[in-house]
Amino acid sequence: MVTNKLKFNKVNLNLIDEYSKRINSEFKDGKIGYFHLPKSDLSNLNELSEFSKKFSEFVVVGMGGSSLGIKAVFGLLENDKKVHFLDNLDICLCEKVLNSINFKKTLFFIISKSGTTIETITIFKFIIDKFSVKDFSKNFIFITDGDSNLEKFGLEHGIKTFNIPKNVGGRFSVLSAAGLVPFTCFGFDVKEILDGANACAREFFIEKNDNILQKAYHYTTHKSAKINVIFSYGSKFEYFNEWYIQLWAESLGKKREYKRLGLTPVALIGSKDQHSFLQLIMDGVKDKTVTFIKVKADTKEKSASNLSFKYLESCDFVNGFNMSEILNLQCDATMQAIINEGISVDSLELECLDEWHIGYLLYYYMLLTSVTGIMLNINTYNQPGVEIGKRLLKTLLIRG
Amino acid sequence: MVTNKLKFNKVNLNLIDEYSKRINSEFKDGKIGYFHLPKSDLSNLNELSEFSKKFSEFVVVGMGGSSLGIKAVFGLLENDKKVHFLDNLDICLCEKVLNSINFKKTLFFIISKSGTTIETITIFKFIIDKFSVKDFSKNFIFITDGDSNLEKFGLEHGIKTFNIPKNVGGRFSVLSAAGLVPFTCFGFDVKEILDGANACAREFFIEKNDNILQKAYHYTTHKSAKINVIFSYGSKFEYFNEWYIQLWAESLGKKREYKRLGLTPVALIGSKDQHSFLQLIMDGVKDKTVTFIKVKADTKEKSASNLSFKYLESCDFVNGFNMSEILNLQCDATMQAIINEGISVDSLELECLDEWHIGYLLYYYMLLTSVTGIMLNINTYNQPGVEIGKRLLKTLLIRG
């Protein structure tokens, strides 16, 4: 179960009714593909678990939405898989990862929606070069749009190739093949991930839980607070935080005609960042909302310590509690302190960190992003602003 | 050499003269300790290199400023040391790290300025418990304020204990024992780090390079842009980015009487985050400044690939260039695209990533923070806002 508690006032349903209709009609018209991914047919993944058993390590090559969702789930789920991410055109990163692996025992995922992401293809060619690969079909899997040039290349070389549906954008693709194919190979329960996502969809579209609408309405009407902080308690959320930043920033930072719109994501880890960004939230300009994310403490975990040392007695007040309990109480205390400052806060509590809850959380954030985009009256699903830099790069290189 | 180029207009020196006088008098009056750390006497570190040779792994236990600076330098410097960071009260993180080490061959740094940071002391006790440690003097080093309770405990148990000067705040402590002690044990050249920092101090205080003053003035007077983005090209900057976030947020988010002030840090990695946050900078609200940080490309690095594949020819335009060159050209292209949008930009180019340049960069950002704090007329060096949460935690636990 995921419990979302809004610590700010809800508005009258009339105010959000029009938006509710719009998101419901978007859901029905089928143009936005990610909505329906939780109902995907998984039969094409069946053979993968067997195939992937041949490998002891995995390397994911993908930029932005082609790796962030995979990293998020990989980070959140307790697992002992050796997975490396080549998500930057960085020679030190590439050398470090590729020098550490046993090539023959490694399965590579080359993921690019367009099929021609310059960083991804360059790293792919770098790998081919480095290991003098002759037969591409053995340990590469391609995930790309149907009909992309990468798919054509893959088919010609007998490479296992999976498609991201055309109407699913990169940053909304974690529940498509872009996520499910690697998850299956890592041994994660993809059915459970989709079930969790589906539960979130059902609560919103069928049971008409209005929290997401209320939250998006709050974010888009409180014009003084244009920074949306998530404060995730637990180091496992680090990559999830990165995924949220892309989703929020790239979806909501848009021009509408000549007007610039957008909300800025900030993502923190508790309790760690209580020693960092928190001071700015507490005493700085009130331009932020904060969402606290926490996971119920495991009661079976043993207490952190019951030791008491001379001179350090002032730290004994946590004795008898386990680390997860202390972490959650830190979350509660910080939340209360921020509420006391009059800052808009809500909390998301997950029963535990398993596939189901992660699927729910991912869908929750994609849905929140869609609804917020509708309220800002922008195109949530494109990214026109990053094209200019790509064109300039070509000019510089050709001139270079 | 570090080259800082401002791509926005400088103002007349009269406007910044008063601030220049104030920072110069702060430098001279000795109340702010970090200014003078580059001139530290290093003789007390001499015995450490020998002592640390007994260990093959290192664990740094510290929150906020007690670990972020160490992580930053560790991440930026090419090295093969096994260093783990316990920088969060997180049972998964602690178990994962502590289960992976050989206790007898591991040197632990317990770092807490106050000496009673609840997370740090709790993790310390957890370690003692887990490995049933009897003799604390063998593989622990304490770094804390003189006269703190942690120091007293350390001295009583014969633990090597080093002090952070009283007038050096946690987030400004990377060039004090809090950084230099672990750096010496890792085999880093601390003399070079301090020399680089000193070069930055000299440029500012003696050669009167006014870039930092101009930049801080720009940040504090362009009231529509309250978010300061650093866009660091290269995955090695990841931890440096975290260090910057704490330094900027915790120093500048302050109440002045009843007025809330502050600038919000955002830290990105290029080219990776061109596929994430960039869209928001390009098309979103113009509430951001951007600093591009890059490292000169190594001309000896071989080209990323000269392969050309049927279907993927559109990616061949980078053939013949090495990854670092492409990365830097991506930086240049993105910078140009952002300048074209009329956003305030500057760039920092480092000749290479060695100790000297890292020392320079750290000092540059601490100085920029100090000057910006002076211009905001706030206390840059305290963190009153985080105390309330700490008190609330105690109440919750005792009630719990």
Beta sheet of A82-86, edge-to-edge order: A82-86, A57-61, A106-112, A140-145, A160-164
Confirm or reject contact between B223 and chain A (CB < 8 A): no
- CATH number belonging to the domain at B2-28+193-376, selected among 3.90.1150.10, 3.30.70.2190, 3.40.50.300, 3.40.50.10490: 3.40.50.10490
Q: Check B337 against A389: CB less than 8 A apart.
A: yes
- CATH number belonging to the domain at B34-188, selected among 3.90.1170.50, 3.40.1030.10, 3.40.50.10490, 3.40.190.170: 3.40.50.10490
Which residues of chain A, if any, have pLDDT below 70? 399-400
Q: Are A144 and A165 in contact (CB under 8 A)?
A: no
Residues 296-355 of chain A whose Cβ lies under 8 A from any Cβ of chain B: 301, 304-305, 307, 309-312, 314-315, 317-318, 321-327, 329-330, 332-334, 336-337, 340
Mean residue pLDDT across chain B: 96
ipTM score for this prediction? 0.97
Residue A321 Cα distances to A298, A301, B133, angstroms: 11, 9, 21
Per-residue pLDDT for B399 more than 90? no
By C-alpha distance, the chain B residue nearest A258 is B283
Per-residue pLDDT for B159 more than 90? yes
For the segment B90-133, what is each residue's pLDDT rounded down to a tens digit?
999 999 999 999 999 999 999 999 999 999 999 999 999 999 99
By C-alpha distance, the chain A residue nearest B271 is A88
Distance from the Cα of A297 to chain B's closest Cα (Å) equals 10
**pLDDT value, residue A256:** 92
Distance from the Cα of B348 to chain A's closest Cα (Å) equals 18
Q: Residue B259: how many CB atoms within 10 A of its CB?
A: 10
**pLDDT value, residue A313:** 97
Q: Are B19 and B154 in contact (CB under 8 A)?
A: no
Per-residue pLDDT for B264 more than 90? yes
Per-residue pLDDT for B232 more than 80? yes
Q: Which residue has the tokens 């783990």?
A: B84
**pLDDT value, residue A400:** 58
Please give the torsion angle defined by the CA atoms of residues B146, B152, B158 and B161, in that order, rounded to the nearest 10 degrees. Answer: -20
Fold equal for B2-28+193-376 and B34-188: yes
Distance CA B271, CA A118 (A): 11
Q: How confident is the model at residue B207 (pLDDT cuts 50, 70, 90)?
A: very high
Is B151 designated active site? no
Q: A215: which 2 tokens?
A: 């939250």
Distance CA A88, CA A82 (A): 19
For the segment B44-96, what is each residue's pLDDT rounded down to a tens digit?
998 999 999 999 999 999 999 999 999 999 999 989 999 999 999 999 999 99
Is A250 designated active site? yes
Q: How confident is the model at residue B37 (pLDDT cuts 50, 70, 90)?
A: very high
With residue B82 as reference, give the H or E element that holds it.
strand B82-86
For the segment A10-32, what is each residue's pLDDT rounded down to a tens digit?
999 899 999 999 999 999 999 99
Mean pLDDT to the nearest integer, B299-320: 94
Which residue type does B255 have?
A: K
Share of chain B above pLDDT 70, in %: 100
**pLDDT value, residue B231:** 98
0.95 exceeded by the pTM?
Answer: yes
| Eight-class DSSP state of A206 | I
Give me the catalytic one of B259, B275, B302, B310. B275
**Which fold would CATH assign to domain A36-188?**
Rossmann fold (3.40.50)
Per-residue pLDDT for B391 more than 90? no
Which residues in A lie closer than 8 A to residue B369 (C-beta atoms)? none
For the segment B86-100, what is each residue's pLDDT rounded down to a tens digit?
999 999 999 999 999
Give B288's strand partners: B227
Which residues in A lie closer than 8 A to residue B314 (C-beta atoms)? 116, 149
Which residue type does B178 have?
A: A
Q: Check A323 against B91: CB less than 8 A apart.
A: yes
Residues 80-99 of chain A whose Cβ lies under 8 A from any Cβ of chain B: 87-94
Give me the catalytic one of A57, A119, A203, A250. A250
Residue B277 Cα distances to A144, A151, A171, angstroms: 22, 28, 12
Burial class (CB in 10 A: 0-12, 13-18, 19+), B95: middle
Per-residue pLDDT for B320 more than 80? yes
Confirm or reject contact between A133 and chain B (CB < 8 A): no
Which residues in B lie closer than 8 A to residue A271 (C-beta atoms)? 63, 88-89, 119
Q: Check A278 against B92: CB less than 8 A apart.
A: no
* DSSP state string for B285-322: -S-EEEEEEEEPPPTTSPPS-----TT-GGGGGGTTS-
> What is the residue extent of each domain of chain A?
2-28+193-376, 36-188
Sign of the alpha-carbon dihedral angle for A368, A374, A376, A380: positive
**pLDDT value, residue B400:** 58
| Optimal mutation site among A134, A261, A272, A314, interface B, most CBs of chain B within 10 A | A272
Is B275 designated active site? yes
Which residues in A lie closer than 8 A to residue B383 (C-beta atoms)? 279
Q: Are A194 and A35 in contact (CB under 8 A)?
A: no
